Protein backbone atom coordinates (compact mmCIF):
# COMPACT_ATOMS: atom_id res chain seq x y z
CA UNK A 1 0.00 0.00 0.00
CA UNK A 2 2.99 2.30 0.49
CA UNK A 3 3.92 1.74 -3.16
CA UNK A 4 0.41 1.79 -4.65
CA UNK A 5 -2.43 3.44 -2.68
CA UNK A 6 -5.46 1.24 -2.15
CA UNK A 7 -7.58 3.76 -4.03
CA UNK A 8 -5.48 3.16 -7.15
CA UNK A 9 -5.74 -0.61 -6.70
CA UNK A 10 -9.51 -0.38 -6.43
CA UNK A 11 -9.72 1.87 -9.49
CA UNK A 12 -7.64 -0.52 -11.60
CA UNK A 13 -9.61 -3.51 -10.37
CA UNK A 14 -12.85 -1.83 -11.36
CA UNK A 15 -11.56 -1.04 -14.84
CA UNK A 16 -10.36 -4.60 -15.38
CA UNK A 17 -13.54 -6.10 -13.94
CA UNK A 18 -15.84 -4.21 -16.29
CA UNK A 19 -13.66 -4.53 -19.40
CA UNK A 20 -15.38 -6.95 -21.80
CA UNK A 21 -12.29 -8.63 -23.27
CA UNK A 22 -9.79 -8.75 -20.38
CA UNK A 23 -9.76 -12.24 -18.89
CA UNK A 24 -6.92 -11.93 -16.37
CA UNK A 25 -4.65 -9.47 -14.61
CA UNK A 26 -1.01 -10.01 -13.68
CA UNK A 27 0.74 -7.94 -11.02
CA UNK A 28 4.34 -8.25 -9.88
CA UNK A 29 5.05 -8.38 -6.17
CA UNK A 30 7.20 -9.85 -3.42
CA UNK A 31 6.21 -12.56 -0.98
CA UNK A 32 6.28 -10.27 2.08
CA UNK A 33 3.54 -8.13 0.53
CA UNK A 34 1.21 -11.07 -0.12
CA UNK A 35 -0.73 -10.75 3.12
CA UNK A 36 -4.26 -12.20 3.37
CA UNK A 37 -5.67 -8.67 3.50
CA UNK A 38 -3.87 -7.47 0.37
CA UNK A 39 -4.71 -10.64 -1.55
CA UNK A 40 -8.39 -10.41 -0.64
CA UNK A 41 -8.53 -6.74 -1.62
CA UNK A 42 -7.09 -7.20 -5.08
CA UNK A 43 -8.71 -10.56 -5.84
CA UNK A 44 -12.22 -9.63 -4.70
CA UNK A 45 -12.28 -6.48 -6.80
CA UNK A 46 -11.65 -8.42 -10.01
CA UNK A 47 -14.85 -10.43 -9.85
CA UNK A 48 -14.59 -13.41 -12.22
CA UNK A 49 -11.31 -12.25 -13.80
CA UNK A 50 -8.24 -14.40 -13.06
CA UNK A 51 -5.52 -12.82 -10.93
CA UNK A 52 -1.88 -13.75 -11.55
CA UNK A 53 0.95 -12.71 -9.25
CA UNK A 54 4.47 -12.66 -10.68
CA UNK A 55 7.44 -13.04 -8.33
CA UNK A 56 11.13 -12.76 -9.18
CA UNK A 57 12.17 -15.81 -7.20
CA UNK A 58 15.10 -16.56 -9.57
CA UNK A 59 16.82 -19.50 -7.82
CA UNK A 60 16.11 -22.14 -5.19
CA UNK A 61 19.72 -21.75 -4.01
CA UNK A 62 19.85 -19.33 -1.07
CA UNK A 63 23.40 -18.20 -1.78
CA UNK A 64 22.80 -17.26 -5.40
CA UNK A 65 19.31 -15.85 -4.80
CA UNK A 66 20.17 -13.64 -1.84
CA UNK A 67 23.92 -13.07 -1.73
CA UNK A 68 24.60 -12.78 -5.46
CA UNK A 69 21.31 -11.48 -6.82
CA UNK A 70 20.29 -9.69 -3.63
CA UNK A 71 16.64 -10.75 -3.71
CA UNK A 72 16.22 -10.90 0.09
CA UNK A 73 13.77 -13.79 -0.28
CA UNK A 74 13.49 -16.78 2.04
CA UNK A 75 12.10 -20.11 0.93
CA UNK A 76 9.90 -20.34 4.02
CA UNK A 77 8.24 -16.95 3.46
CA UNK A 78 7.91 -17.58 -0.26
CA UNK A 79 6.37 -21.04 0.25
CA UNK A 80 3.78 -19.70 2.70
CA UNK A 81 2.89 -16.81 0.39
CA UNK A 82 2.42 -19.13 -2.59
CA UNK A 83 0.21 -21.49 -0.57
CA UNK A 84 -1.84 -18.55 0.69
CA UNK A 85 -2.40 -17.23 -2.81
CA UNK A 86 -3.13 -20.64 -4.33
CA UNK A 87 -5.75 -21.32 -1.65
CA UNK A 88 -7.55 -18.20 -2.87
CA UNK A 89 -7.54 -19.30 -6.50
CA UNK A 90 -4.74 -16.94 -7.49
CA UNK A 91 -2.20 -18.17 -10.05
CA UNK A 92 1.54 -17.79 -9.46
CA UNK A 93 4.11 -16.86 -12.09
CA UNK A 94 7.81 -17.11 -11.18
CA UNK A 95 10.89 -15.76 -12.92
CA UNK A 96 13.86 -18.14 -12.85
CA UNK A 97 17.30 -16.77 -13.70
CA UNK A 98 19.69 -18.84 -15.80
CA UNK A 99 23.32 -18.20 -14.88
CA UNK A 100 24.04 -15.41 -12.46
CA UNK A 101 27.61 -14.21 -11.94
CA UNK A 102 29.79 -16.80 -10.18
CA UNK A 103 28.14 -19.85 -11.72
CA UNK A 104 29.83 -22.25 -14.09
CA UNK A 105 27.82 -23.38 -17.10
CA UNK A 106 27.05 -26.75 -15.51
CA UNK A 107 26.08 -25.16 -12.19
CA UNK A 108 23.77 -22.72 -13.95
CA UNK A 109 22.02 -25.45 -15.90
CA UNK A 110 21.59 -27.66 -12.82
CA UNK A 111 20.37 -24.73 -10.70
CA UNK A 112 17.65 -23.69 -13.13
CA UNK A 113 16.42 -27.25 -13.56
CA UNK A 114 16.34 -27.79 -9.79
CA UNK A 115 14.65 -24.44 -9.18
CA UNK A 116 11.79 -25.22 -11.54
CA UNK A 117 11.41 -28.75 -10.18
CA UNK A 118 11.13 -27.35 -6.64
CA UNK A 119 8.67 -24.66 -7.71
CA UNK A 120 6.52 -27.29 -9.43
CA UNK A 121 6.18 -29.07 -6.09
CA UNK A 122 4.64 -25.87 -4.74
CA UNK A 123 2.19 -25.95 -7.68
CA UNK A 124 3.53 -22.71 -9.15
CA UNK A 125 1.52 -22.26 -12.34
CA UNK A 126 4.16 -20.81 -14.65
CA UNK A 127 7.97 -20.65 -14.51
CA UNK A 128 9.60 -18.23 -16.91
CA UNK A 129 13.29 -18.69 -17.64
CA UNK A 130 15.29 -15.47 -17.89
CA UNK A 131 18.66 -16.13 -19.53
CA UNK A 132 21.45 -13.77 -18.51
CA UNK A 133 22.56 -11.29 -21.11
CA UNK A 134 24.73 -8.18 -21.18
CA UNK A 135 23.18 -5.02 -22.67
CA UNK A 136 25.73 -2.43 -23.82
CA UNK A 137 25.10 -0.03 -20.91
CA UNK A 138 24.63 -2.67 -18.19
CA UNK A 139 26.86 -2.59 -15.09
CA UNK A 140 28.12 -6.11 -15.83
CA UNK A 141 29.47 -5.05 -19.22
CA UNK A 142 33.02 -4.32 -17.88
CA UNK A 143 33.09 -7.83 -16.37
CA UNK A 144 32.25 -9.28 -19.74
CA UNK A 145 34.77 -7.07 -21.53
CA UNK A 146 37.50 -8.31 -19.16
CA UNK A 147 36.75 -11.94 -20.04
CA UNK A 148 40.06 -12.72 -21.71
CA UNK A 149 42.15 -11.43 -18.80
CA UNK A 150 39.94 -12.47 -15.89
CA UNK A 151 40.35 -15.65 -13.86
CA UNK A 152 36.67 -15.59 -12.92
CA UNK A 153 34.88 -14.41 -16.06
CA UNK A 154 31.20 -13.76 -16.46
CA UNK A 155 29.70 -15.16 -19.62
CA UNK A 156 26.00 -15.45 -20.45
CA UNK A 157 24.73 -19.01 -20.91
CA UNK A 158 25.33 -20.87 -24.13
CA UNK A 159 22.37 -21.06 -26.46
CA UNK A 160 22.78 -24.83 -26.22
CA UNK A 161 22.39 -24.58 -22.44
CA UNK A 162 19.05 -22.83 -22.75
CA UNK A 163 17.76 -25.50 -25.10
CA UNK A 164 19.23 -28.25 -22.91
CA UNK A 165 17.43 -26.89 -19.83
CA UNK A 166 14.12 -26.79 -21.70
CA UNK A 167 14.57 -30.30 -23.06
CA UNK A 168 15.49 -31.75 -19.65
CA UNK A 169 12.52 -30.04 -17.99
CA UNK A 170 10.26 -31.58 -20.62
CA UNK A 171 11.18 -35.03 -19.27
CA UNK A 172 10.43 -34.10 -15.66
CA UNK A 173 7.13 -34.57 -13.87
CA UNK A 174 6.27 -30.93 -13.25
CA UNK A 175 2.60 -31.52 -12.62
CA UNK A 176 0.53 -28.53 -13.72
CA UNK A 177 3.53 -26.19 -13.85
CA UNK A 178 4.24 -24.79 -17.30
CA UNK A 179 7.61 -23.49 -18.50
CA UNK A 180 8.21 -20.57 -20.83
CA UNK A 181 11.21 -18.57 -22.04
CA UNK A 182 11.57 -14.83 -21.56
CA UNK A 183 12.73 -12.47 -24.27
CA UNK A 184 16.51 -12.03 -24.30
CA UNK A 185 16.29 -8.38 -25.25
CA UNK A 186 13.17 -7.18 -23.44
CA UNK A 187 11.46 -6.86 -26.80
CA UNK A 188 13.95 -4.38 -28.28
CA UNK A 189 15.83 -4.69 -31.55
CA UNK A 190 19.17 -6.42 -30.95
CA UNK A 191 22.01 -3.88 -31.20
CA UNK A 192 25.20 -4.96 -32.92
CA UNK A 193 27.20 -4.84 -29.68
CA UNK A 194 24.61 -6.68 -27.58
CA UNK A 195 26.00 -9.76 -25.83
CA UNK A 196 23.94 -12.83 -26.13
CA UNK A 197 22.99 -15.46 -24.44
CA UNK A 198 26.44 -16.48 -25.46
CA UNK A 199 27.07 -16.95 -29.20
CA UNK A 200 30.75 -17.89 -28.62
CA UNK A 201 31.55 -20.74 -31.01
CA UNK A 202 28.18 -20.38 -32.74
CA UNK A 203 29.76 -17.50 -34.65
CA UNK A 204 32.47 -19.82 -35.94
CA UNK A 205 30.11 -22.66 -36.75
CA UNK A 206 27.48 -20.41 -38.29
CA UNK A 207 24.67 -22.04 -36.30
CA UNK A 208 23.66 -19.03 -34.19
CA UNK A 209 20.77 -18.07 -36.46
CA UNK A 210 19.21 -21.52 -36.32
CA UNK A 211 19.51 -21.64 -32.52
CA UNK A 212 18.03 -18.17 -32.05
CA UNK A 213 15.21 -19.02 -34.46
CA UNK A 214 14.40 -22.26 -32.60
CA UNK A 215 14.31 -20.45 -29.26
CA UNK A 216 12.21 -17.62 -30.67
CA UNK A 217 9.72 -20.07 -32.18
CA UNK A 218 9.51 -21.99 -28.91
CA UNK A 219 8.82 -18.75 -27.09
CA UNK A 220 5.89 -18.14 -29.39
CA UNK A 221 4.18 -21.53 -29.27
CA UNK A 222 5.93 -23.76 -26.69
CA UNK A 223 6.53 -26.49 -29.29
CA UNK A 224 9.65 -28.55 -28.50
CA UNK A 225 9.79 -29.77 -32.09
CA UNK A 226 11.67 -26.57 -32.92
CA UNK A 227 14.72 -28.07 -31.18
CA UNK A 228 14.83 -31.14 -33.39
CA UNK A 229 17.45 -31.41 -36.14
CA UNK A 230 19.51 -28.45 -34.94
CA UNK A 231 23.06 -28.48 -36.38
CA UNK A 232 25.52 -30.60 -34.40
CA UNK A 233 28.55 -28.48 -35.22
CA UNK A 234 31.96 -28.02 -33.60
CA UNK A 235 30.55 -25.80 -30.86
CA UNK A 236 28.77 -28.87 -29.46
CA UNK A 237 32.14 -30.37 -28.51
CA UNK A 238 33.23 -27.15 -26.77
CA UNK A 239 29.92 -26.98 -24.90
CA UNK A 240 30.24 -30.64 -23.81
CA UNK A 241 33.72 -29.94 -22.47
CA UNK A 242 32.58 -26.93 -20.49
CA UNK A 243 29.65 -28.85 -19.03
CA UNK A 244 31.93 -31.70 -17.97
CA UNK A 245 34.31 -29.21 -16.31
CA UNK A 246 31.55 -28.48 -13.78
DSSP code of 102? T
Predicted pLDDT at 9: 83
Residue 237: other Cβ atoms inside 10 A: 11
Predicted pLDDT at 194: 37
Instruction: Spell out the alpha helix ranges (H) of 4-74.
Output: 6-18, 36-44, 62
| Integer Cα distance of 102 and 33 in angstroms | 30
| Integer Cα distance of 191 and 208 in angstroms | 16
DSSP code of 147? G
- Three-state SS for 112? helix
Burial class, 139, CB count within 10 angstroms (exposed 0-12 / middle 13-18 / buried 19+): exposed
Predicted pLDDT at 32: 93
Predicted pLDDT at 146: 57
Q: What is the mean pLDDT of each run of 10 residues along the chain (246 residues)?
A: 75 91 94 91 87 97 94 96 96 95 92 98 97 67 54 74 95 97 61 44 62 89 92 79 86
| Integer Cα distance of 64 and 58 in angstroms | 9
- Residues with Cβ < 8 Å from 59, sequence gap 6 or more? 65, 69, 96, 97, 100, 111, 112, 115
Predicted pLDDT at 139: 62
Amino acid sequence: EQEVPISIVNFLNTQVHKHPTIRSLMVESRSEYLTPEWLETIADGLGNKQLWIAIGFESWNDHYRNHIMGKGETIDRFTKAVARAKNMGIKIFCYCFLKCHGMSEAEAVADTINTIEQLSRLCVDMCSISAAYVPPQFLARPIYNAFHSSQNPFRPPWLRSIIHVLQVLRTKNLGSTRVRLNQFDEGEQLPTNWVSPDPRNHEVCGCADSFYKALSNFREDGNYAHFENLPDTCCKKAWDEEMRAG
